[in-house]
Amino acid sequence: MNVMSIIYFIIGVIWIFYTFKKDKKSGKQAIRIALNNFLSRLPDIFGIFLLLGIFNEFVPKSIVFKYMGNARGAMDHILALLFGSLAAGPPATAYPLGEALIIKGAAISVVAVFLASWVKIGFISLGIELKSFGKEFVIWRNLVGMVSCLLIGLLIQLFYF
């Protein structure tokens, strides 16, 4: 529970009260839409959290080290892209992992690709993305996003020294 989410919540609640004060009918409508939205998404979102639990527990982080501990070649960047897209979780986990990989001898550009795809692409949540935006959008967003992740690796390779 970080500060930002508490701020979000307080803004939302105050705004709802303000809406009620201004116009009771609009306030009720906003609450009804919010409740419907919340309840209709709850099963999928809960499913995602359960899957994240399995992922965290049954896919050991040592796999990442085993395959990317000394990664520097072109194929290693692709592998980093796949690992990053599969991985899910808060950036709090990603950054320490990135540092550990650099210490282990992975190239900085490989770590950049890994972190970029970690924050940009989420295979686990593709299902929810599909429901919201449809096939065309999801396919292109993820493909273009993956290319960007590789380009970020290149950017770091060129300018970080």
Partner 1 sequence: MSPDRPSHPIVLFLEKTRTSKILWIALILYITLYFVNKEKTLHAIVYGLSIFERTFLIFISVSLFVGLLRVWVKPGLIKKLFGKEAGLRGIVTASFVGTLIVGPFYLIFPILEELLSKGARIAAVASIISAWAIKTPWIPYGAAFLGWKFIILFNGGLFLFSLVEGYIIELFVLRTRKNV
**How many other CB atoms sit within 10 Å of the CB of residue 77?**
21
Which CB sits closer to partner 1, 73 or 133? 133
Residue 57 to residue 149: CA distance in whole angstroms: 26
User: Rounded CA gap, 77 and 68, in Å?
Assistant: 9
Q: Rounded to the nearest whole angstrom, what is the least distance from the CB of residue 76 to partner 1 in the complex?
A: 18
CA torsion angle 114 49 124 138 (round to 10): -110
Residues 107 and 4: their CA atoms lie apart, in Å, by 33
Which CB sits closer to partner 1, 42 or 73?
Answer: 42
48 token code pair: 């995602």
Place of tokens 């390779």: 157
Nearer residue to partner 1 within complex by CB, 29 or 73: 29
User: Taking the complex as a whole, how short is the minimal distance between the CB of residue 101 and partner 1, in angstroms?
Assistant: 10
Question: What span, in angstroms and rounded, lies between the C-alpha atoms of 84 and 65?
Answer: 13
Kindly state the smallest distance separating residue 87's Cβ from partner 1, in Å.
13
User: Could you tell me the smallest distance in angstroms from the CB atom of residue 85 to partner 1?
Assistant: 12
